[in-house]
Every structure is written in C-alpha cells, then in structure tokens.
Amino acid sequence: MRRFYAAYLKGFLSLLVAGILLSSVSGCGFHLRGMGSLGPLQFKTVLIENESQARIEIQQALRRQLALSGVQRVDSAQQAEVIIRLQPTHYHVSRTAYSGQGDATAELLKMSQSFTAVWGLTGNDLVTGTVETYRDRQIETAALLASEQEVIDMRQSMAEALARQMMDRINRAVQQRFALPEKAADSVLDNAVSDSAVKAQ
C-alpha cells in the first residue's frame, strides 16, 4: 500500500512540476513575442508625419517603441533630430486551406509599412523603405469569438514587429551617416543639436 501511495504521489508531483514548467515557458514565449525594446537609439527626438495614414496598431506600436527607447516625440520639424514620414499601411488576408465542406481552415496575414526617415537638422534623407511581416493561423470555426480575438492579437504583434524593424533601420541609418561607434555617435548628435540651437538663436 505504501508503494502504491508513493508511486501515486510521485506521479502527481511529476505532473505538477511539468505543469509549472509549461506555464513558465508559455509565459516567456508570450513575453518574447511582446513589444521588447531596441535599447537607447542614436537620436533623442522625433517627429512623425502622416501618422493617421498608418493603421492604429502601427501608431500604437510606434508610440510604445519610442517610449521604451527613450525617444521624445515633438510637434515641429525644428525640434526633431529625425522626421519619419509614414505611408498607408498595407494589410492583406489570404485563405490558404479549406475543409471538405469548402470552409476556410487556414489563412495568411500580411502587413507592411512604407516610410521615409529624414535627418531633421539638415533635411537630408536617411532611409526610405518598407518593413513587412507575415503570420499563419488556423481558423477555429467552432469558436468564432476566440478566433476573432486571435486575429486582433496577431495584428498587434505584427505591428509591434514592424515598429521594431522600422526603428532599427532608422537607427542604423543614423549610425552610418556619422560612421561612428555608438558612444561617439551620441557625442556627435549632442554637438549637432547644440550647434543647431545656437544657429536658431
């Protein structure tokens, strides 16, 4: 009898530990898919033009990314080290699989965002390009509400990925403009801002 209880207790504890580990891994996975930060960027102020042309998810993701990276949004080109001009977001959903009854069972979500970044102190273009991302998903026809929420979460995750890609490309372009290591580039940026402020006076 003791052996039976010992085996039962051992099995129960194993399941409990496995459940805890699975929860921890799931939690970490969700965190890794979250916003994240690129760390400090090579510019401190930014103006976003034509923001309303982008999807609301892109707007929100950009705000969060800039806040996480310590970049201040400003209202005028005179205050901005970098000016980002957004174009309309492209979002497309295509069905990729169907059931025997003809119902869609899988789809591919595509989102892309075109932009131009300008060095505000001189008006010279830094980078022009398009960032894009894709997501595959299985359609749960038996749980439509849950399926719709999944789409909303996916769109937000895609927008966050695009915001990171965009800011990373702009940050690299600023570094390449000065062709300096990160700390040295910070010093040059500070001097450029100071010179600009003096000239403005």
Q: Give 153-170 as a DSSP string.
A: HHHHHHHHHHHHHHHHHH
Asked if residues 167 and 173 have their Cβ atoms less than 8 Å apart, the reply is: no
Q: Which domains, ranges and CATH numbers included, belong to the chain?
A: 40-200 (3.30.160.150)
Owner of token pair 């979002």: 91
Q: From CA 15, how far away is CA 43, in angstroms rounded?
A: 50
Tally: H helices and E strands in the chain: 4, 6
Dump pLDDT digits (tens) for 119-142: 988 889 999 999 999 999 988 766
Dump pLDDT digits (tens) for 84-129: 999 999 999 999 888 888 778 899 999 999 999 999 888 899 999 9
